[in-house]
Amino acid sequence: MADSVDDILRRTPMFRRLSGEDRQRLAAVASLREFERSEYLFHEGDDSGSLYTVMSGRVKVFKTTARGSDLILEIFGPGDPVGAVAVYESRPYPASAVALEDATCLLIPRQAFFSLLETYPSMVRGLLTGLTHRLVELTNRLTELSTGRIDARLARFFLKLADTMGQHTPEGTFIPLALSRQELADMIGTTIETAIRIMSRWGKEGLVRTDRDGFLLADRAALEAVALS
């Protein structure tokens, strides 16, 4: 198990700059856990007892607004750490995380994590770059949610998914991630009615087709033009 966990850490951007010795030390305290679709990794406000790293599947992180609606902050895939900032700051998770599909995560207990950081300063230096990268991504994500036309936000969201998990087919780029219209609305900070209207129009225009297991970007060039509008 330690060898396989070490491989996982080696492939994860947040941990890949660690020395081989430091990776092995982390691997020794880490464990694996499986989550079924719709199962929560943690809820907003829970104690940040562990740092999660997605190995397989997809996890969405979202906040519940004062009005009771969900605002999806990010969708994480294999190799992505979840809850890192809360663990680093020893504060409750500021958002909830739930599996979008069956997922496997690597868990590193916070107490063991901090003990290693205090004992091995080289580990702190190796992790700074990875943490900074995640903070920049989250900041950019929040900026995208608060600026621009709604259809442009949705177009940028689909293009991002295409870049990170898209599969090229003769008909276009297929995104193997099934999301409801409500989840799409939550992702870009709009209403379900608006998401339904945009997706219906794009379907008729041949930009994006909704399939059972995901979405097909049939006209990426047109979608890129919408993203820039």
pLDDT score, position 190: 85
User: Is there a single domain that holds both residue 193 and residue 136?
Assistant: no
- Residue 143 has a CB neighbour count (10 Å cut-off) of 10
Strand ranges for the chain from DSSP E = 31-35, 40-42, 50-56, 59-64, 70-76, 81-82, 96-99, 103-109, 167-169, 172-175, 208-211, 214-217
Minimal CA–CA distance to 71: which of 155, 163, 141, 160? 141
Residues 6+ apart with CB under 8 A from 220: 159, 162, 172, 173
Q: pLDDT band for 16, please (50, 70, 90 cuts).
A: confident
User: Is there a single domain that holds both residue 27 and residue 71?
Assistant: yes
Phi first, then psi, for residue 104 (nearest 5°) are -120, 135
pLDDT digits (tens, 9 = 90+) for 19-65: 889 888 988 999 989 999 999 999 999 999 999 989 889 899 988 87
User: Is there a single domain that holds both residue 114 and residue 175?
Assistant: no
User: Is there a single domain that holds both residue 40 and residue 86?
Assistant: yes
N- to C-terminal Cα separation, the chain: 49
pLDDT digits (tens, 9 = 90+) for 151-194: 998 998 899 889 888 899 999 999 988 888 988 888 787 889 99
Are the C-beta atoms of 99 and 55 separated by less than 8 Å? no
Are the C-beta atoms of 72 and 54 separated by less than 8 Å? no
Q: How many residues does the chain have?
A: 229
Q: Which two tokens stand for residue 66?
A: 């004062």
Last residue of a domain, one of 94, 116, 146: 146
- Which residue type is seen at 55? M
Residues spanned by the domain of 169:
150-227
User: Is there a single domain that holds both residue 141 and residue 167?
Assistant: no
CATH of the domain at 11: 2.60.120.10
DSSP notation for 27-74: HHH-EEEEE-TT-EEE-TTS---EEEEEEES-EEEEEE-TTS-EEEEE
d(CA 199, CA 75): 20
Tally of structural domains, the chain? 2
pLDDT digits (tens, 9 = 90+) for 70-125: 777 888 888 788 988 888 888 999 999 999 889 999 999 999 989 998 999 888 87
Last residue of a domain, one of 125, 146, 167: 146
Full-model pTM: 0.68
Last residue of a domain, one of 94, 128, 146: 146
User: Is there a single domain that holds both residue 53 and residue 157?
Assistant: no
- Residue 221 has a CB neighbour count (10 Å cut-off) of 8
Q: Is the pLDDT of residue 1 over 50?
A: no
